[in-house]
Each structure stands twice: as structure tokens, then as C-alpha cells.
Copies of this chain bind each other. A is one copy, B any other.
Amino acid sequence: MAGKRNGKRTTITLKEVAELSGVHASTVSRALNPATRSMVMPAVVERILKAAKKLGYQPDPVAASLRTGRSSLVGILVPDIANTVFAPILSGATERLDEQGYSVIVSDVGNEQGRQIDLVAKLMARRVDGLILATVSRDDPLVAYCIERNLPAVLVNRAETQSRLSAVVSDDALGMQLAVDHLSELGHKRIAHLAGPTRHSTGFLRRRGFAQAMAANGFDAAAAPCEVADAFTREAGAVAMRRLLDTHRGITAIAAANDLLALGAYDVLHERGLSCPGAISIIGHNDMPLVDMVAPALTTIRISHREMGRQAADLLHQAIEQPDAPARNVVLPPKLIVRKSTAAPPSTK
């Protein structure tokens, strides 16, 4: 019944290949597996390979998985597939994992924590070999959950505070430094930060990076205006931006923790009839698709999310192969992309 989708076409099994080549199924198994191939005489191997090709044999991963406990499946947890930041990560990761022979089960988590653990439990039941997590907060119970169960996992984009698992992230401190340096060089004196949620490492580290960069540029970091958005969305960015403008005077430049927050800031400038970069310069973070098309084209810090996904795939592969190797952190360097949303501050009179 299994493997038989209709009347005529039956899937061919190891045993059939064995019969055709006149050996036992176990020998076929060994001959087909590169790791055990050396146990079989070369001449026999060749005969078996020929028979397998002739029959069009395709191994059944389900049966193999049952026996071995491995599955060549990895799960990827993303907060939101449709988010233009996570899509390239997914894309890069699946590309590389595919090369390595894994198939990818994608889980869109939504936002509930409990659900996240449930999803992982379901993936474990499916015998996934490992997990790529793009969802974790700075201190996430999910990490402990995976470690306790010896499930290989790596983090991507967002890291956790303790580095218990391998992770690939952007250098958020450097990113903010590039941003602040750029604004400072343009002559800005009153630079504000539109921060992201601090439960995520990106929000937290970029905020800290902003403070450090301000200090490095000779500003009083503690006095620098800063508002925290509830989420990395355009709407939350707009809300925080309004607070920022309402409670602080004389801001001429804004370093946002994220492009969507920056776009939310754009919306508020529109509302209030302020020009960008005439009245206020804005710099984003991520360089997500199409931000070069908005008006004004957004100056931002580019992160190669696709590359991030690829590296995460590599790290996961290693974590699966060598479960006891120590966690490694890969930090990718971001890059300043200057467009039209930043300029010298309006001349003060």
C-alpha cells in the first residue's frame, strides 16, 4: 500500500535491486551508501549501481529515518515568513541546506511563546536533525529546551545573551557606529535613536551600540534622545517617532534600529510637514528590498541576510556532525549605504 500511488506504479525497494543484481538487500544497502561502500567488492558495487539505475531505485527516506533516527530534515522557525527581512534568510538557508542534502520544514511561529515550544516538539517528533531559530529573544526558554533534548540548533539574526548555541548575527555595534559616524561627519549634533524592542538582541545591542558610538564621537550618550518601539514595524516606528519629536527639541538626525522603524519615521515626518533630509536626516538598518525606491531613498546599514542564512546552514551542519563541538559565533560586518535620506543639518541661526 505504502509507496503505491496507483495501480501500476509500485516503488522499487532495496530487495528488488538485490534480486536483479543477485545479492542480498543488505549488500545493496552497503553498496549504495558511500560510507559503507568499501565493505563491498568494487565489481559487485558496480553491478549493484547498474541495477539500481536500471530500475530507477530511489531510497525511501521514511524507512531509513525510522531505522536510523535521522531524517535529513531540518526545521526553520521564523517569526514571520512574509517579513522582507526573514525571507532572504530563509532563502539563503534553504539554498545551502539543499546542497547539503537536507529538506527544510518551515514553521511560521506567530508570536506566542508556548506555541513555539509546541512547534519544536512536533518537529522533534518528525525526527528533524536540527533547527535554525530566527525567533529567539535574548533570554529564551526555547534554547534550554533544545539543549536539554540534545537537539542541534543554531540561531540566526537574533542571538541570546548566553552564547549556548552557535549563532550568526550582524555586528550590531559596528552597524550603529557606522550610522552615528556618518551622521556626525555630516555635522549633526543632536542625534536621536529610534530603538527596537529590547527583548530581542538586535534591539538591545543596537541601542547599546548607539550609546557607545555617540560617546566615541564626543557626545553625552546618556543625554541623547531615545525612544523604544514596541515592535519592529512601521506602525510602532511611527508611534515611537511621535514620542521622540514631542518630547525632545532640536533633533536633526535619527538613527533607527531597523528600516521599518525608519519608514514609520518617514510617515510621521509626512504628517507634520517636515522634510527629509532637509529638516531631519534618517538612517535605517538592514537595507531591505525596495528601500532604495522610497522617497527619499533610504540611507541605511546593509546586512546580507541571505549570507546570514547560508552561514547558519553551515553552522547547523557542523552542529549536527559534531554535536559536542563548542558553540561558535559568526559575526558578519554590516556596511553603510548612503542614499538620499541623510544630509547636513539645517544651518542653525
Contact = CB atoms under 8 A, between A and B. Distances in A.
Given A290-B290, A293-B294, A294-B293, A5 B151 contact: yes
A84 B84 CA distance: 7
Contacts of A126: 61-62, 103
Contacts of A95: 108
A121 interface: yes
A104 B106 contact: yes
A4 interface: yes
Contacts of A105: 73, 103-106
A327 to B, nearest CB: 17
A57 to B, nearest CB: 11
A91 B293 CA distance: 25
B150 A6 contact: yes
A54 interface: no
Interface of A: 1-6, 9, 58-63, 65-69, 71, 73, 80-84, 87-88, 90-91, 94-95, 98, 103-108, 121-123, 125-127, 149-151, 263, 266, 289-291, 293-296, 306
15 contacts: A2-B66, A6-B150, A58-B125, A60-B125, A61-B126, A62-B127, A73-B105, A82-B91, A94-B107, A98-B107, A105-B106, A263-B290, A263-B293, A293-B293, A294-B295
The 10 closest A-B pairs by CB, nearest first: A295-B295, A2-B69, A5-B150, A82-B91, A293-B294, A6-B150, A81-B91, A82-B87, A290-B290, A82-B88
